[in-house]
Structure 1
Amino acid sequence: MFTRIGLFLLTNLAVLVLASVVMSILGVNSTQMSGLLVIAAIFGFGGSIISLLLSKFMAKRGTGAVVITQPRNPTERWLLDTVARQAKAAGIGMPEVAVYDAPEINAFATGANRNNALVAVSTGLLHNMSEDEAEAVLGHEIAHVANGDMITMALLQGVLNTFVIVLARVVGGVIDSALSGNRDGGRGFAYYIIVFVLEMVFGLFATMIAMWFSRHREFRADAGGAQFAGRQKMIAALERLKLNHGQSTLPNQIAAFGIAGSTAKKLFLSHPPLEERIAALRSSTVA
């Protein structure tokens, strides 16, 4: 928790310092900049925090996941028992456990905090993985919860959103003034078009940063899965994913928390290539 909060504070400080430097270079009024930073932070973090708070509800709605309240068969009993055992080992509260109907081999974890999370698996996973492989996947998802990855991603996205909003308007104002020769601070219609375009461009760079961090999280979650289920089981699960890997059908807001990623260009991948994940586990010291 301390590392996560420290990272959050340092990143925010870096954003403020960079914004101040840009403001000084471009001659932006400090009072105007302060107001812009406040508004940008409200909008930037507001969306991320709301998404985090609604993540379980939206995940259930988006995937049609059905929470297991009373096990109806041995498979559901095994799922509950395995998640309960791993959650206890990780020192977190018992997550809700759900199953959603999808042919792909996948699973995800989400939730606003580590003691009120949701772990869901696809019917494709249950039909195509052995118990050992499924156990490793569940361990991977429990590691996401225990590491606080959902909260960390929300904080990071809030910082990036704020940065995009501020930088687009600062740079947009300078470009608009240079093009129009306007010196009285007024903004024409062109300014809003420029800001819109800049938000799209800076947003792409922000997405690259978020996805880089997401890929880093996956290695940690794989290590967690190896710790909770065993390294060979985790490697076997990833090998199975490699054999059956297809396009993820998870909604965008939870795709980064699935065991399997997308097939986008590498800079926009939420998950590292399976070959890299397997190699990292083979070289690890986890038993």
Structure 2
Amino acid sequence: MNGLKTLMLLSALTALFMVLGYAFGGAGGAALALLVAAGMNLFTFWNADKIVLRMHHAREVDGRTEPEFYGLVQQLAERAGLPMPKVYMIDSPHPNAFATGRNPENAAVAATTGLLSMLNRDEIAGVMAHELGHVRNRDTLIMTMVATIAGAISMLANFGLFFRNGDGRGFGFAGILAVLVAPFAAMIVQMAISRTREYGADRAGGEISGNPRALASALRKIASGAERIPNPVAERNPAAAQLYIVPAHVSQLFSTHPATESRIAALEQMAAGMGVLPEVALPSTMPRNGCRSALFPHDRPVPRRSSALDPHNRH
């Protein structure tokens, strides 16, 4: 059902782009707009992951450079039945994570050092399971396409307002109305698609990690931290907000994500249905890297080392 809804909304977004093209150049303009949309999506299909990772100055890590974080993602990918994605870290105190890539075979997941320092192992597992949920649901491609078309609609509308005749007769009243309404309509469609995919990724994250409450706990901490700690990338590129597990400094009315409280409530309900008991608070002095995880009880203790996952190594 979510897949059909997304297809319908994506079609509506493309149609909106064609309406703008028609407003500028009639049937020929609509056809040209369709070709432009197809070309933009083709370019995005092949290059979006590279653009996003370069934008965040992400660095790729592996089992040698970050064995604990990489190993955690590897275990979760196996649980999800996914190929091992590329794993990246972003040197930023802002707590967040995202996934990108055109398909599960070419996916990448990334987390900031701020997130890894703020959360415990089970919470990190919940977050990365959420991102792998996006990969499994192929949201990474869908959301990139949506962002590309929505951005093109806004750019085309601005172009129309700037270059229309001063008396407004350049492309008629209907054209002017389309130019004024199109960006707002595109934003509404983009938000509808994004919010649907976030709930789906939360459910997938709870299933993959086996602990929806850990993901709920992570969302609380990330939401609080993201409000306090600036994110220069999102400030320079507001469209990047839809990538993150929790967007920051965005009015809920215009947010691409559902309210964090609603997501937490859904995860708590999911946990109750799975019979997952509330977590017992551990002493704050208990080391994380040297003990077994509640999520992975059979993991061997990991020797303490200097790592972004080490609570004693703050960035």
The TM-score bracket by the shorter chain reads: 0.7 to 0.9
Q: 1:183 corresponds to which residue?
A: none
Q: What is the CA–CA distance in structure 2 between the aligned matches of 1:10 and 1:200, rounded to whole Å?
A: 20
**C-alpha RMSD over aligned residues:** 3.9
- Tell me what 1:90 maps to: 80
Does residue 1:267 correspond to 2:253, yes or no?
Answer: yes
Partner AA of 2:91 in structure 1: D
Normalising to structure 1: TM-score of the pair? 0.75
7-16 or 54-63, larger mean C-alpha shift: 7-16
- Match of 1:237, SS? helix
Name the structure 1 match of 2:50.
57
Q: Can you list the C-alpha shifts for 1:105-130, whole angstroms capped at 9, x where unaligned?
A: 11111011121111011010111111
In the alignment, which residue of structure 1 is the partner of 2:64? 71
The structure in which a higher percent of residues are helix is: 1
> How big is each residue's C-alpha offset from its partner over 1:56-99, in whole Å with a ceiling of 9 and x where there is no partner?
21122111111013523xxx212222212222222222110011
Task: Give the counterpart of 1:35 among 28, 31, 47.
Answer: 28
In structure 2, what is the equivalent of residue 12 of structure 1?
A: 11
Q: Give the superposition deviation at 1:254.
A: 3.9
Q: Contact 1:168–1:195 at 8 Å: present in 2 too?
A: no
Provide the rounded CA distance (Å) in 1 between the counterparts of 2:42 and 2:53: 18
The SS at the match of 1:280 is helix
CA contact under 8 A between 2:77 and 2:132: conserved in structure 1?
yes
Q: Is the 8 A contact 2:82 2:104 kept in 1?
A: yes
Q: Does 1:227 align with 2:207?
A: yes
Distance 1:10 1:265 in 2: 22
263-272 or 116-125: which moved more?
A: 263-272
Q: Deviations over 1:148-170 (max 9, x none)?
A: 10222244456657877999999
Q: Which residue of 1 aligns with 2:243?
A: 257
- Count matched residues: 263
Where in structure 2 are there 5+ consecutive unaligned residues? 277-315
Which residue does 1:184 correspond to in 2?
none
Deviant stretches of 4+, over 6 Å: 161-170, 194-197
Which secondary structure state, in structure 2, belongs to the residue aligned with residue 283 of structure 1?
helix
1:259–1:9 Cα change, 3 Å: closer
Give SS of 1:222's match: helix
1:141 match: 131
Paired AA for residue 244 in structure 1: G
Deviation at 1:3, TM superposition (A): 6.8
Q: Does the 8 A contact of 1:64 with 1:100 survive in 2?
A: yes
6 and 242 in structure 1: CA distance in 2 versus 1, 3 angstrom threshold: closer
Q: Any idea what SS the aligned residue of 1:102 has?
A: coil
Query: Among the aligned pairs, what percent are the same residue?
Result: 26
Q: Map 1:1-287 to 2 at 5 A.
A: 4=3, 7-8=6-7, 12=11, 33-72=26-65, 76-157=66-147, 180=169, 191=171, 198-199=178-179, 201-229=181-209, 230-246=211-227, 247-251=230-234, 252=237, 253-284=239-270, 285-286=273-274, 287=276
TM-score, normalisation: structure 2: 0.69
- Provide Cα deviations, 1:252-277, integer angstroms capped at 9, x if missing partner: 45431211213222332122222111
In 2: Cα distance, 1:212 partner to 1:5 partner: 13
Matched letter for residue 278 of structure 1: I
